[in-house]
Amino acid sequence: MMHLVMFDVDGTLVDSAGFDDACYVAAAREVLGFDIPAHWDEYTQATDAAILDEILDRYGVEGDRELIHSEFKQTFISKITEHLEANPGEIREIKGAARFINYLTSRDNVKVAIATGGWEESAKLKLRAAGIDIAGCGFASCSDHHLRTGIMELAETRMGYESPFDSKTYFGDAAWDREASKALSFNFILVGTRIDHEMRISDYRDIDRLAFMLSL
């Protein structure tokens, strides 16, 4: 049997939600010139790129969308970089995440992928800062597709595994992760307590339990 195990990044592998939100709001203030609500559950599609498009529509921002996206993205990434440099050691993995990823990638019957609603550059910055090695993992982000389902489909395709997987599981921390998993027929495991869900973990330290949950 071959299993696909896929992960979100923020709040799922990396404890970064607080400063990540602040950097996004600060980038909006700098690039767009106004404050935006940071209630991500209220946006139609919760990816960094899709949220920006919705903000531009909501506030009637005119101009070249491609240029606005490029400037916003670079400003956001700069703010993430500056924060990490100014606060070394602040960003941490969700406990056990790095060890669990290493465990999965060492198995012959598991393919591992990262599918994040963040931009590629900022997601990889945070993963490196948290000490999580994703070498050998498939990777897709909102740099590739603005919808979470599209990101997940790309991450799966990039594994290069042509036969159907016997099981597909997505680890995420929010309602939009659960909805995307349902739409794509992934099993969903909640990380944390942000929403109610039966299949839930608080961290990745108990590998035996995780392996059981994944039927490995």
Mark out the alpha helices in 33-147 (DSSP H runs): 48-58, 65-86, 97-105, 120-129
| Interstrand relation of 14-15 and 92-93 (parallel, antiparallel or unpaired) | antiparallel
Tell me what pLDDT residue 119 has. Answer: 94
Given a contact cutoff of 8 angstroms between Cβ atoms, the answer to whether 74 and 121 are in contact is no
Tell me what pLDDT residue 17 has. Answer: 65
Sign of the four-CA dihedral 128, 130, 131, 135: negative
Tell me what pLDDT residue 185 has. Answer: 96
Tell me what pLDDT residue 70 has. Answer: 95
Tokens 């591992």: give the residue.
112
Given a contact cutoff of 8 angstroms between Cβ atoms, the answer to whether 49 and 141 are in contact is no
Judge residue 73's burial from the number of C-beta atoms within 10 Å of its C-beta, 0-12 exposed, 13-18 middle, 19 or more buried: buried
In whole angstroms, give the CA distance from residue 159 to residue 165. 11
Tell me what pLDDT residue 76 has. Answer: 95
- List of the chain residues with pLDDT < 70: 17
